[in-house]
Amino acid sequence: MAQLPEKAKQVRKTIMDQVLREGFAPKRAEIREKHGLTEEELDRVFKDLEAAVIIAVQKKSHAGLKRFQGEPLEEGVPEPGEIFYARGFANFKNTFKVWVEGEQKWYGECSLECCMISAMFPGKEVVVRTVCRQTKEPVELIERDGEILEASPKTLRVHIGYPVRYVPDDILGWCDYNSFFSSEEAVVEWRKSHPNIKGVTRDPRTICHFGKLLTGGSQRLHYDFQMQFPILKILWNLKKIGFTKPVPALGGLHLPDPFMMMTPHFFKEWKRQGYRNYARFSLL
């Protein structure tokens, strides 16, 4: 396991301090000037922060994006090279509006991140409001300290569009199909017009459990934070965090779901793109 370089930690703090304070991340020119970095040095820092699942940088393939989560964007997206996501926030206005104690200036990255975003605001009530991707019915989550207190509608489902093993193939596009649907029936209807997307659905609280296990909740705010993989805890809680699926032929017995697993393809593509491994592995 690699240790995130000190300069990357400093830049991360600059980014997250501004996001939490103002809603959006600073421009790369501001970061470069504040930390005395060349363009090449900042590119390396950004690459490290992407590898540590802290930011995602805009690419030419997603420049000029007009829609996100199937909805038109109010003001467009960042230019190539700028921060696209500062996990778990989007660095552009979108359909995932986040209120913190009645104030709205934040936007969520995707439905998964929205289920655990209150951990970024310890002790405060966080409300996420958006719409069902299919029916446009209002969706609302009321959260505190990484826990979902209320979810509306009661039948709310989180849809994950592409298998986890394909995350490195398109880090930006992967999140665009992690959406909220008002019910399982709404997902079925949406799939009729999107037959190429073979996603899965999970309960919002299941996603919340998954996030807490890997990020430690508010530990994500710590200066030295790196993603956690407590192996035995993950194995013990596979069903609780949504990493299993029922098999009808076995009487509904839950077995590991390949859709949620990292495969050799994931690690091969991660390495091919020049990302280092900043994940922390432990038994507990």
Q: How large is the average pLDDT for residues 112-135? A: 97
- Look up residue 180 and give its amino acid: F
- Give CA–CA dist 84/185, Å, rounded: 32
pLDDT of residue 41: 98
- Per the domain annotation, does 100 fall within a domain? yes
Q: How large is the average pLDDT for residues 211-215? A: 86
Q: How large is the average pLDDT for residues 147-157? A: 97
Element (H, E) at 31: helix 28-35
Q: What is the CATH number of the domain that holds 129?
A: 3.15.10.60
Host domain of residue 273 = 57-282
pLDDT of residue 148: 97
pLDDT of residue 281: 86
Tokens of 97: 């509006």
pLDDT of residue 217: 78
pLDDT of residue 219: 87
Kindly tell me the burial class for residue 237, based on how many C-beta atoms sit within 10 Å of its own C-beta (0-12, 13-18, 19 or more): middle
Q: What percent of the chain has pLDDT over 70?
A: 100
Q: pLDDT, tens digit, for every residue of 62-120?
A: 999 999 999 999 899 999 999 999 999 999 999 999 999 999 999 999 999 999 999 99
Name the residue among 33, 88, 82, 45 with its Cα closest to residue 60.
Answer: 82
pLDDT of residue 44: 97
- Per the domain annotation, does 180 fall within a domain? yes
- Per the domain annotation, does 27 fall within a domain? no
- Single pTM value for the model: 0.95
- Per the domain annotation, does 271 fall within a domain? yes
DSSP string, 39-107: HHHHHHHHHHHHHTTSEEE--GGGTT--EETTEE-SS--PPTTSEEEETTEESS--S-EEEETTEEEEE
Name the residue among 282, 232, 226, 220 with its Cα closest to residue 2.
Answer: 226
- Per the domain annotation, does 6 fall within a domain? no
- Give CA–CA dist 212/237, Å, rounded: 12
For residue 216, name the pLDDT band (cuts at 50, 70, 90). Answer: confident
Residues in CB range of 122: below 8 A, 6 or more apart? 145, 218, 221
Tokens of 38: 């060349």
- Per the domain annotation, does 162 fall within a domain? yes
Is 244 a residue whose pLDDT tops 80?
yes
- Per the domain annotation, does 3 fall within a domain? no
pLDDT of residue 1: 65
Is 121 a residue whose pLDDT tops 80?
yes
pLDDT of residue 104: 98
Q: How large is the average pLDDT for residues 268-279? A: 94
Q: How large is the average pLDDT for residues 55-64? A: 95
What is the number of domains present in the chain? 1
- Per the domain annotation, does 16 fall within a domain? no
Is 199 a residue whose pLDDT tops 70?
yes
